[in-house]
Amino acid sequence: MRVLVIEDDPLLADGISQLMRTSGHNVDFVASAELAAVALKAEIFDLILLDIGLPGMDGFEFLRRLRINKQCTPVLVLTARDALNEKIHGLNLGADDYLTKPFASEELLARVAAIARRMQGRSSRQRIHGSLVLDEEAHRAWIDDQALDLPLREWAILIFLLDNVERVVSKERIARALCNWEQDMSGKAVEVYVSRLRSKLECGGIMIRTVRGIGYMLEEKYAIRQSA
């Protein structure tokens, strides 16, 4: 998952980030709710790990605004506030889970895994787009019942394009979705991965359309013919 850690203690933020990365997640972190709001406008995250005692806007207010704005990204609250009324308040504001500090690494990972399972339960594990069928849980995809060989980067780009069907996404957005802020992927590298993915999809009538100067959009070939 792409995870955003919102924590003003740099040592704790770094420790949580390293733990999540070791478990295979892509992680970024910010030190305030204000910076988190900026990050959420620019990026798509699958999970937020939220501290409550933040400078400026506190975590509860950030969570309240998040839900008012109909943003449904799962939120796991991590805080030293262990009073029952604080937990109830956080859950009523829309937190998906609440973990008090200090906590064991194993418990944090277990709670993150539980949230991931609930996310899978809320959405279809199988996606269908024209002749393309993709099973996220099995990490497999087919075109007209023929299995596709998709390395990790091509798989991640396909998932991102399916999340944004009929919307143009820039090479920069694709690169940011695949890497955290401390990593880098060039626009040329994105072009290479998209080109490889495109060649595997076109046989089934699935087109990754290039919008010059902007980016890419996933669509079906027949839709282009109908509009021509």
Report pLDDT digits (tens) over 53-76: 999 999 999 999 999 887 888 999
pLDDT of residue 187: 80
Alpha helices in the chain (DSSP H): 10-22, 33-42, 59-68, 84-93, 105-122, 152-163, 171-178, 187-201, 221-227
Please say whether the dihedral angle defined by the alpha carbons of residues 17, 21, 23 and 26, taken in this order, is positive or negative: positive
pLDDT of residue 184: 67
pLDDT of residue 122: 52
Which residues of the chain have a pLDDT value below 50? 222-228
Name which of 200, 206, 208, 219 is nearest 146 in CA terms. 200
User: Quick one: 116 and 146 in the same domain?
Assistant: no
CA 4/CA 88 separation, integer angstroms: 23
User: Quick one: 133 and 114 in the same domain?
Assistant: no
pLDDT of residue 220: 67
Cα separation values, 174 from 73, 126, 212, Å: 19, 22, 15
User: Quick one: 80 and 131 in the same domain?
Assistant: no
User: Quick one: 109 and 144 in the same domain?
Assistant: no
CA 136/CA 133 separation, integer angstroms: 10
User: Quick one: 134 and 174 in the same domain?
Assistant: yes
> How many domains is the chain partitioned into structurally?
2
pLDDT of residue 224: 37
pTM comes to 0.58
pLDDT of residue 43: 82
Host domain of residue 85: 2-122
Q: Domain containing 89 — which CATH number?
A: 3.40.50.2300
CA 54/CA 69 separation, integer angstroms: 20
User: Quick one: 136 and 150 in the same domain?
Assistant: yes
pLDDT of residue 10: 93
User: Quick one: 113 and 131 in the same domain?
Assistant: no
